Amino acid sequence: MITVNNRDELSWHDGMTVQDILDVMGYTYVLIMVTVNGVLVHSEDYSGTKVPDEADVRVIHIMHGG
Amino acid sequence: MIMADKISIVINGKPREIPEGTFLLDAVRKEGITVPTLCHHKDLMPSGTCRLCICEIEVRGKKKLVTACNYPVREPLEVWTDSETVTRHRRILAEMYLGRWPNVRAVREIAGLCGVSESRFKGRYTEEDPQSCILCGHCVRACREFALERILDFAGRGIHRHIAMPFNEVDPHCIGCTSCAYVCPTGAIQIVDDLNQPVDPQMIRDHGMKVNAEMANLDPVQCRMREVGTANIVDVMNQYDLLPVKNYKYGSHPEVWKIDSKMLKAKYFTQNMPDGCWKGCSMACAKTIDDFELRTGPYKGQKVCVDGPEYETAAGGSNMGCFDADFIAEFNFYCDTYGIDTISAATTIAFVMECFENGVIDTGVTGGLELNFGSGDEVLELLHQMARGEGFGVDVGQGIRWLKDKWENEYGADRKFMDDIGMETKGLEVSEYVTKESLAQQCGYGMAIKGPQHDEAWLIFMDMVNNELPTYEHKAEALHYFPLWRTWFGLYGLCKLCWNDVVPADNKMTSEPQKVPDHVNNYFKFVEGMTGIKLDEQKMLDQSARVYNLQRVMSRMLGYGTRRDDYMPYRALGPVTAEEYESRQDRYDKQLREIVGVDPEGRSTSEKIKILRDYREDQYDKTVSVVYRRRGWDDNGVPTVERLKELGIDLPELVAIVEKNRG
């Protein structure tokens, strides 16, 4: 099980990547920053970064518009 | 979000993985390898003009020379940055440049890097001026990419090639944005005057050019403000269930593709080019539809130019259930032409539609108009009536608060239902965002001084999606900082969009990315460069707080500005009707179970709505109290005398007002 934004829980599976999490959560926003266990993941590494079980994942949407 | 795939390459014998599409020059420089360039600029599109960045590559068994700056890596390759062939080519080029411009510092430095100190190519075309133009083209590209103009370009051929304005005359379209001078590496383009006599024009330029560069390089992959303007948010809001649909009942709709930014760009924004509010704006987010043929109203049959639609206008369409871009364009045009606010009109009409569908009013009241959701023709007729001062349009033009009073008094309409679904606070209609799942945004709307518009605090993502404001205190801090920061734009008459509608590439590395610290600093430097007054966050907040608190006291003078004025209709907080609850039943049931602590099993929808409502209204109430404390206001929402004193605005007449209204 991993936690997203200190609230939502997702089932973990072997090989799960940051991009998998964004897809499951439906996060299509362009201005986002992702950390896994406090470490920043750059956008070009979303598909290649594997997320460990029990990870604390933060997907911060930087506000725009409004 | 689609992420670039990685490509395996070998750089001078070292294997590396880089994102597909990376320019070769960027890849090799990332390895700390020096590659000489004259025409390359980090903020401009590469052009490969000077050819000094030439590298040798091998792709699929074939070797060739390429200019690294504009060679995007799309397949595995091996690159040598200093092979014998490369070095030979670079030395000849450097020698030629040195022969033509022997005293230009940038050329001498590059020649030195290539091991060249003398040139065999000196002659009658040698230019001795150390500030000679070296034809790098920075200025031409900056004019296009930063200022979105083509004032400067190359003219002449061969040795006579030079930079010029059209016909070698001063082009009246040039507004003196100074982008060309800013990027010129030799000083060939000089700024000869500074309008308005700023204290430090260079400081203003340094920070303004950063924004220009970000717009040129980052906007295409961020908010696409130049491409589609604020309409880009239609797609985003629908994806996150935040787009108002049918008087804010829902947050998304399957037909949104008919009005989203893709549709508007493909079939409506005929200019399809950046279009600024003022000439020289590098954000240029205004959009236009040319030759739009109207089908109703006084200009029926005429082809007109529509200024828009922006996000709020398009979302007003969805709020009225009208997923028809033709309708939205015509609604946009006539609102502009009549001087009617698209947000207030759309939100009021959405309320009217829900009342009509629920039998609160009928065709006897509407003058025969069948005002169901989605009835675009009837909406346009209503708009024309509003402008002509005729029929039902006269009433609707008064806004939601007035309509509720009239319908209750004259027709005995259900006041509670109207109060729940009539999306207004302080008499102003709510702008176009669904706030049900963001307590901070509900307060951002409800507590905004002039009424529920979004330019004080737009916190939906911070709160609802990111969960960055988990406590009342977190919410209160955001509802203290952001309204003051956004009020500050008004104090100085500066556009808010270049604060956070493009953000620096390294913004995510900062400690407070939501504040976009680098851009906040830009604004401080604009003020300092113009006036000499240094600003920091606390000074900014203090300046803003004086105005903000004065506005609050003035609200009180006008009969508003207390706690009862800061509440939102329940539609903004949660589901009013059974159809709303049941449309997102999983979400609400889960919240009852996990947050409220009530098992939804076996309970009726109306029972669950009531429990959720009690919980959410209590949460709202508590948040308001904490925000008041953070702002230095009493429990009635009135600034304290101490706060006025602290801000230096404890004028006797203001003190008298706050004393009289103490909570």
Domain positions in chain A: 2-61
What is the distance in angstroms between the Cα of B172 and the nearest Cα belonging to chain A? Answer: 34
Residue B454 to chain A, least CA–CA distance (Å): 6
**What's B221-429's CATH class?**
mainly alpha
Q: Which of B236, B285, B489, B586 to mutate to test the interface with A (most CBs of A within 10 A)?
A: B236
Write out chain B residues lying below 8 Å of A59, CB-based.
465-466
- How would you label B522-542 residue by residue, b for 16+ Cβ within 10 Å and e otherwise? bbbbbbbbbeeeebebeebbe
Taking only residues 33 to 62 of chain A, the set having a beta carbon closer than 8 angstroms to any beta carbon of chain B reads 33, 40, 43-44, 46-48, 58-62
Contact A61 B466 (CB under 8 A): yes
CB contact under 8 A, A29 and B240: yes
**E strand or H helix at B18:** strand B14-19
pLDDT digits 0-9 by tens, A1-56 = 999 999 999 999 999 999 999 999 999 888 899 999 999 998 888 999 999 999 99
For B:584-643, CB contacts with A below 8 A are none
Which residues of chain B fall below pLDDT 70?
1-4, 194, 272-274, 663
SS3 of B120-174: CCCCCCCCCCCCCCCCCCHHHHHHHHCCCCCCCEEECCHHHCEEECHHHCCCCCC
Gyration radius from chain A CA atoms:
11
Test mutation, B3, B219, B235, B586, chain A, max A CBs within 10 A: B3
Which chain A residues are Cβ-neighbours of B256 within 8 angstroms? none
Chain B residue with Cα closest to A38: B509
State the pLDDT at residue B1: 41
The amino acid at B279: K
- Residue B204 tokens read as 């203003």
Q: Which residue of A has its CA nearest to B514?
A: A62
Angstrom CA distances, B498 to B178, B281, B299, B532, stand at 18, 10, 36, 22
Which CATH architecture fits B439-660?
A: Orthogonal Bundle (1.10)
Q: Which of B429, B428, B460 is nearest to B444 (CA)?
A: B460
Q: Residue B372's closest CA among B362, B364, B385?
A: B362
Determine contact: B514 vs chain A, CB below 8 A.
yes
Instruction: Give chain B's end-to-end CA distance (angstroms, integer).
Output: 49
Residue A33 to chain B, least CA–CA distance (Å): 6
Phi-psi region of B459 (alpha: psi -120 to 50; beta: other; left: phi over 0): alpha
DSSP assignment of A32-63: EEEEETTEEE-GGGTTTPBPPTT-EEEEEEPP
B75, burial (CB in 10 Å: exposed 0-12, middle 13-18, buried 19+)? exposed
Reply yes or no: is the peptide bond before residue B72 cis, omega within 30 of 0. Answer: no
**pTM for the predicted model, two decimal places:** 0.90
Q: Which CATH class is domain B133-191?
A: alpha beta
CATH architecture of B6-82: Roll (3.10)
pLDDT at B273: 66
pLDDT given at position B4: 59
> How many CB atoms are closer than 10 A to CB B415?
14
CA dist B395 → B126, B149, B374, B409, B639 (Å): 78, 47, 20, 14, 36
Query: Which of A28, A62, A65 lies closest to B507 in CB terms?
Result: A62
Cα-based angle B127, B131, B135 (whole degrees, multiple of 5):
70
Q: How far are the Cα atoms of B200, B209, B212 from residue B193, in angstroms, in the given order?
A: 12, 18, 21
Q: Which of A19, A22, A29 sits opposite B236 (nearest CB)?
A: A29
Quote ipTM for the complex.
Answer: 0.94
In angstroms, how far is CA B579 from the centroid of its own chain? 33
| A19 vs B contacts (CB less than 8 Å) | 3
Domain boundaries, chain B: 6-82, 133-191, 221-429, 439-660
Q: Across the interface, which of A22, A40, A48 has its CB nearest the CB of B1?
A: A22
Select the residue from B256, B465, B498, B594 to test the A interface by mutation, using most A Cβ atoms within 10 A. B465
Q: To the nearest whole angstrom, how far is the Cα of B81 from the nearest Cα of chain A?
A: 24
A22 part of contact set with chain B, CB < 8 Å:
yes
* pLDDT per position as a tens digit, B1-52: 445 578 999 999 999 999 999 999 999 999 999 999 999 999 999 999 999 9
What distance in Å separates the CA atoms of residue B95 and residue B126, rounded to the nearest whole number? 12
Q: How far apart are CA B188 and CA B130, in angstroms?
A: 9
Say yes or no for a CB contact (<8 Å) between A5 and B230.
no
Select A2-61's CATH number: 3.40.50.1860, 3.10.20.30, 3.40.50.300, 3.40.190.10.
3.10.20.30
Task: Name chain A contacts of B3, Cβ cutoff 8 Å.
Answer: 19, 43-44, 46-47
